[in-house]
Structure 1
Amino acid sequence: MTFEKMIEAMTPEVYQSLRRAVELGKWPNGQRLVQEQRETSLRAVIAYEYKHGVAEDQRVGYIDRTRSDGAQHGTDPFQPQVLKILTDD
């Protein structure tokens, strides 16, 4: 199964479980994620959120760039490149 097909087949429950595992650094059974598992899981979570239209402010790693006066700080010029890398297989 390709990474793309895995993301398409991922259920919301699996997404939530992966996201929680990445946040906590361990699986639901308490076993720690090794670095490769964390990286792969994070890549899957980001790709799922991008593909399924999760609101930007609800995505993993979201940083609110709104200043106290309501204006926006600069945008991240690398974001489109990062998303391309994460969603390419």
Structure 2
Amino acid sequence: MNFEKMIQAMTPEVYQSLKRAVELGKWPNGERLSQEQRETSLRAVIAYEHARNMPDAERVGFIDRSKADGSQHGKDPLSPDTIKILTEH
């Protein structure tokens, strides 16, 4: 079974289990995840969220930048920056 088929066949329970394993760094039986297992599991979690079109707020790594009034903390990280080039004469 290839990676894409595995993601399509993944149940919500398996997704939650993988997500929890990545968060804690260990499997439900207490065994630690290797670096490779952690990376592969995180990749599977992200792929599952993408395949299911989950809202951004429910995805791994989402950071809520909104204040209570609806405005954002700080500047929009996707907005372009203006730079000023100083030259000496």
Q: TM-score, normalised by structure 2?
A: 0.77
Task: Output the CA distance in 2 between the equivalents of 1:55 and 1:49.
Answer: 9
Tell me the C-alpha RMSD between the 2 structures: 1.7
Task: Output the CA distance in 2 between the equivalents of 1:26 and 1:76.
Answer: 34
Structure 2 residue ranges without an equivalent (≥5): 80-89
Which is helix-richer, 1 or 2?
1
More displaced stretch, 20-29 vs 54-63: 54-63
SS of the aligned residue for 2:53 comes to: coil
Structure 1 residue ranges without an equivalent (≥5): 78-89
The corresponding residue for 2:62 is: 62
The corresponding residue for 1:15 is: 15
Change (3 A) 1:76 1:9: farther
Task: Output the CA distance in 2 between the equivalents of 1:63 and 1:43.
Answer: 18
More displaced stretch, 27-36 vs 58-67: 58-67
Q: For each residue in 1:43-74, what CA deviation from the matched residue of structure 2 results, as whole angstroms up to 9, or x when unmatched?
A: 00001011112221111111112245522441
Q: TM-score, normalised by structure 1?
A: 0.77
Greater relative CO (CA pairs within 8 A, separation 6+): 1
Percent same amino acid at aligned positions?
69
Task: Output the CA distance in 2 between the equivalents of 1:64 and 1:53.
Answer: 18
